[in-house]
Structure 1
Amino acid sequence: MNIFTIVFAFLAFSGVFIAIQAVTAKPRQDLIAERLAQYRDHNLTLDEIELSLPFSERFIKPALERLGSVLTSRMAKNRQVVLQNKINLAGRPYALSVNGFEVFKVIAGIIVALLGFWIGGLLFSTSFPLRVGAAGLGFLVGRYLPDVWLNNKIKGRQKELRLALPNALDLLTISVE
């Protein structure tokens, strides 16, 4: 394995790590109130207010939201509705929207494609087309894995509701009596 592969893998994984952190970071609750308090106390310019925000909220999160908008604008409306229903059935994990889920699928595809390229390099070190084929297969698998994860979340939530239903019915009958 040469140094270029190691550096490329490190940069790719660090970029993906930063993107995932930006998407899954929990927003602060009093962001608007905090901004208003800053404005009342000091006469800050708009640039100073924007620069007081973390880099992930100023650049990475808006870039990922724009990417999600581009990805979902190409989707059929009924596919968006079906995907939103699936996300709702899963309980909106990590406050995902359709845009966020599509970005998550692309990021997962890129991660698994890089892993496929790397593993393809270990297995087929002399054949570059096989490495690219492994990366392509990895991208397809990576795009499919978030759907599997979402379906597992749906099944888990439905199982949880089925287990809680008898207790809810007991409470309901007791309160009616």
Structure 2
Amino acid sequence: MSLMLLLIVAIVALLIIGASVLLLRRAEEDPLAVRIDEFAAREEAVSIEDIELSMPITDRIFVPIVRRISDFVVRFTPQTTLERTARQLELAGNPRNMSAAEFWILRGLSTVVLGVLLFVMMTRNGAEPTKRILWGLGGAALGFYLPAMFLRSMIDRRKQSIIKKLPDALDLMTICVDAGLTFNAAMQKVSEKWDDPLSDEFGRVIYEMQLGKSRRQALKDMSDRTDVPDVTSFIAAVLQAEQLGVGIGKVLRIQSEQMRVRRRQRAEERAQQAPVKMTFPLVFLIFPSIFIVLLGPAGIQVARSEALKGLTG
């Protein structure tokens, strides 16, 4: 029995040693060399046509078409217009990674689609030719301005999100710096903790610094991308403190207090504007409903009594 047990232990030990040797050899191998060997071991070389056929149909057909159209748009669109559109896309965060030419292609498509759609609808309804043309032109105008309106809305929402999150981000950065972290590590903590435009901007600053850009230039670029006065003042204070040698923790503490005061002031300002904004719905929506509920039964009774008097008279 003891001999059998020793034999089993020896076999298990040999298996463990063999597996360890194989794992160590794989760990020492260069993964790039392994990939090269795999491609070299293929019997047939992969041609460019096979690679293109393996791509999705959208990448094979629609992407080249969009690129050709965008080249045409870039050629015949003023450079100032493209730069202004690119600036607006940057302020909106550009979640789709869309170029200025592609945005103008989208505006052109929406113009044609809405114009033709309304024209066809009015034609089916049997409208006069003048009305068809007017409705078609109205749809085209709506399709032209609708993407710009959506882009403007995205810019406003992004700015409001940054303004709302900035005091909390500065509080976290202040705590991190007081705990002994560097300013770069504090920005990294903010980018990891939340998923919002401000955290994305701090993450982009860290990424640009890793690529070799100076912190001063990366922060200035962040100020240009956000176009928020609070962010601009915060970055200016940080850069000035860095230039003068002032402790960054003290600057962050002062800036966080100022941002909280500004947020409270904005809340008070909105509270003071509430009565003015409530005037229109009160006068045109709520008061008429109240009058109908209060005076409606009395009016019905008066009408019935007048009708009864007319019948008896």
Q: Check whether TM > 0.5.
A: yes
1:128-167 to 2 correspondences below 5 Å: 128-167=129-168
Please name the residue that 2:82 is paired with: 80
Query: Is the aligned partner of 1:171 residue 2:164?
Result: no
Which whole-Å CA distance do the structure 2 matches of 1:38 and 1:99 have between them? 41
1:175 Cα deviation from its structure 2 partner: 3.2
Q: Deviations over 1:41-99 (max 9, x none)?
A: 44133222222222211111110121122123222112111111100110012121112
Task: State the Cα deviation string for residues 2-27 of structure 1 (Å, max 9, x = none).
Answer: xxxxxxxxxxxxxxxxxxxxxxxxxx
* Segment drifting more, 85-94 vs 106-115: 106-115
Taking the aligned partners of 1:56 and 1:147, their CA distance within structure 2 comes to 26
Alignment partners' CA distance in 1, 2:37 and 2:155: 41
Q: Percentage identity across aligned positions?
A: 24
Whether contact under 8 Å (1:65, 1:99) holds in the other structure is no
**Residue type of the alignment partner of 2:90:** N
Contact 2:82 2:101 in 1 (8 A): no
SS where residue 95 of structure 1 aligns?
Answer: coil
The Cα of 1:150 is off from its aligned counterpart by 0.3
Unmatched runs of 5 consecutive residues or more in structure 1: 1-35
Change (3 A) 1:147 1:39: farther
Deviation, structure 1 residue 37: 11
107-116 or 157-166: which moved more?
Answer: 107-116
SS at match of 2:151: helix
Name the SS of the counterpart of 1:66 in structure 2: helix
Give unpaired runs (5+ residues) of structure 2: 1-35, 179-313
3-state SS of the aligned residue for 1:143?
helix
Change (3 A) 1:38 1:146: farther
Amino acid at match of 1:105: R
Distance 1:139 1:39, change over 3 A: farther
Aligned partners of 2:107 and 2:143 also within 8 Å: yes
Deviation of 1:144 after TM superposition, in Å, equals: 0.7
Matching of residues 3-152 of structure 1 within 5 Å? 41=42, 42-123=44-125, 125-152=126-153
User: In 2 relative to 1, CA 122–59 (structure 1 residues): closer, same or farther, beyond 3 Å?
Assistant: same
Q: Deviations over 1:81-128 (max 9, x none)?
A: 1111100110012121112211111121122113211332245x1523
Contact (CA 8 Å) 1:116, 1:135: kept in 2 or not?
yes
Point out 4+ residue stretches in structure 1 off by more than 3 angstroms.
36-42
Between the aligned partners of 2:129 and 2:37, the Cα distance in structure 1 is 58
Deviation at 1:151, TM superposition (A): 0.3
CA distance in 2, matches of 1:87, 1:147: 10
Q: Whole-Å Cα distance in 2 between the matches of residues 130 and 37 of structure 1?
A: 70
In the alignment, the residues of structure 2 paired with residue 96 and residue 135 of structure 1 have an alpha-carbon distance, to the nearest angstrom, of 28
Find the structure with the greater CA-based Rg.
Answer: 2
CA contact (8 A) 2:92 2:154 kept: yes
Conserved? CA contact 1:113–1:142, under 8 Å:
yes
Q: TM-score, normalised by structure 2?
A: 0.41
